[in-house]
Copies of this chain bind each other. A is one copy, B any other.
Amino acid sequence: MEPRQAALQAAFTRTRRQSLALAEGLSAEDCMLQSMPDASPVKWHLAHVTWFFETFVLAQREPPPAPFNPAFKVLFNSYYVGVGERHPRPERGLLSRPSLDEVLAYRRAVDAQMAALLADTPLPHSLLDLIELGIHHEQQHQELVLTDLKHHFWRNPLRPAYRPPEPLEPADPVPLRYQAFEGGLVEIGHDGEGFAFDNETPRHRVFLEPFELACRPVSNRDYLAFIADGGYDRPELWLSDGWDTCQREGWFAPLYWQFTDADRWTVFTLHGQQPLRLNEPVCHVSYYEAEAYARWAGARLPTEQEWECAAQRWPAEAAPAPGRFADAGAYHPGPTTTGKPVHWLGDVWEWTQSAYLPYPGYRPADGAVGEYNGKFMINQMVLRGGSCATPSDHIRASYRNFFPPSARWQFSGIRLAR
């Protein structure tokens, strides 16, 4: 077998297992929750990533195998118009049938077919590309399983804990320092080593003015100062749409924060309701809040080009060890050696001030799989860096995450630039 096929075989097995590990401890009822149209049930995620392999890999074979269940073609199609009809997104929580057990059987059936395929004679590169895409697609949904589940559970007044609380060492506060970068004509985009989504390509040149980037994300302690200074009551700090959203939604702090009777802030986490840890990166803020915070702090958000330029220079060891599954919502004590960034990768996604738009010369893939990224290039802002909920081998310097500026349920935080 070719080395690439063998590597994908291993990655496939590992990734599929990891998805099941995420669902451990959840009941069938838990896996059906849908708290808002943007957040899908865990059961749906488990089925959809399976549908992806069935639709884009298995069904491409000649002759195509019989589908596990023909109805799944519609039920678990997320947004691929080229594949046909889709079950409406806000109604994913109304599917008590198929049951979680049936979805797990669906996974096993597709896994078996995939295993047979991958153990087979060498597969063409085009098919290996789709399998690789499917693996990275499933990793994306692993993060969504966690972000969505957190939101689902938060709507239950019982505030269930997904995982038991893990007492963490209190981290010492790290002073906020800026690191200077020269800018100039730099190359941005995926360099061709390993996998990348189409939206990271083509690699291209951009011209950057000199800039500085903060050595760590904004912490909860920093953010409390913004709140205490009336941050949520001063329209002059906000973008106009941001202020309107803030007023309409009644925002007064990041999502999941709660001010308790005892004059203390607590936060809802995947480990249940917890006291706020002051030295952790602030999390679950919208772009609007990030942008307002930066203005208040006399700084700004980085562009995605600045961010990637820095990522090319800053050491990879700042990233969490590959294969380690990060504690959801918790804190990675990064290296604190002077001059090196802390919490650089794998803590919180960092909002950039770049709109999510195609790179010069961008071309989506042919066929339905071309809908993966390109058709969402409007009304969204780019986030960089990966979060504690991102599989650590899914994080890379050129990775472009994107969400609307009002989104708060992702593990999104703030890194300042100037």
Please name 11 further chain A to chain B contacts, defined as beta carbons within 8 Å, in addition to the given A97-B158, A355-B357, sorted by A numbering. A27-B99, A28-B28, A29-B29, A81-B235, A81-B243, A94-B152, A97-B156, A185-B207, A288-B378, A355-B355, A379-B379
Any B CB within 8 A of the CB of A321: no
Any B CB within 8 A of the CB of A238: yes
Q: How far is the CA of A30 from the CA of B102 in the complex (A)?
A: 14
Q: How far is the CA of A288 from the CA of B376 in the complex (A)?
A: 12
Contact surface of A with B, Cβ cutoff 8 Å: 27-30, 32-33, 35, 71, 74-75, 79, 81-82, 87, 91, 93-100, 152, 155-158, 160, 185, 204-209, 235-236, 238-243, 287-288, 291, 303, 353-355, 357-358, 360-361, 371, 375-379, 405
B354 and A379: CB pair below 8 A? no
Q: How far is the CA of A32 from the CA of B160 in the complex (A)?
A: 17
Q: How far is the CA of A416 from the CA of B273 in the complex (A)?
A: 52
Among B32, B91, B377, point to the contact of A32 (Cβ < 8 A): B32
Chain B neighbourhood of A71, CB < 8 A: 157-158
**Nearest CB to that of A87 among chain B residues?**
B157
Min CB gap A184→B, angstroms = 10
Q: How far is the CA of A303 from the CA of B377 in the complex (A)?
A: 14
Min CB gap A239→B, angstroms = 5
Q: How far is the CA of A360 from the CA of B185 in the complex (A)?
A: 15
Can you offer 10 A-B residue contacts whose CB atoms are under 8 A? A30-B97, A32-B32, A91-B155, A94-B155, A185-B207, A209-B361, A239-B377, A288-B378, A355-B357, A378-B405
A240 and B375: CB pair below 8 A? yes
Min CB gap A345→B, angstroms = 25
Most buried by B among A158, A235, A353: A158
A94 and B357: CB pair below 8 A? no
**Nearest CB to that of A152 among chain B residues?**
B94
Among B28, B87, B288, point to the contact of A27 (Cβ < 8 A): B28
A236 and B29: CB pair below 8 A? no
- Also in contact, A160 and B97, with CB within 8 A (given A209-B361, A235-B81, A378-B241): yes
Chain B neighbourhood of A242, CB < 8 A: 378
Chain B neighbourhood of A288, CB < 8 A: 378
- Also in contact, A35 and B240, with CB within 8 A (given A207-B207, A355-B355): no
Q: How far is the CA of A97 from the CA of B272 in the complex (A)?
A: 14
Min CB gap A83→B, angstroms = 11
Among B79, B209, B355, B358, point to the contact of A204 (Cβ < 8 A): B209
Q: How far is the CA of A98 from the CA of B156 in the complex (A)?
A: 10
A156 and B95: CB pair below 8 A? yes
Min CB gap A96→B, angstroms = 4
B376 and A240: CB pair below 8 A? yes
**Nearest CB to that of A405 among chain B residues?**
B378
Among B157, B206, B353, point to the contact of A358 (Cβ < 8 A): B353
Chain B neighbourhood of A375, CB < 8 A: 238-240
Chain B neighbourhood of A208, CB < 8 A: 360
Min CB gap A149→B, angstroms = 10
Chain B neighbourhood of A81, CB < 8 A: 235-236, 243
Chain B neighbourhood of A35, CB < 8 A: 94
Q: How far is the CA of A29 from the CA of B29 in the complex (A)?
A: 5
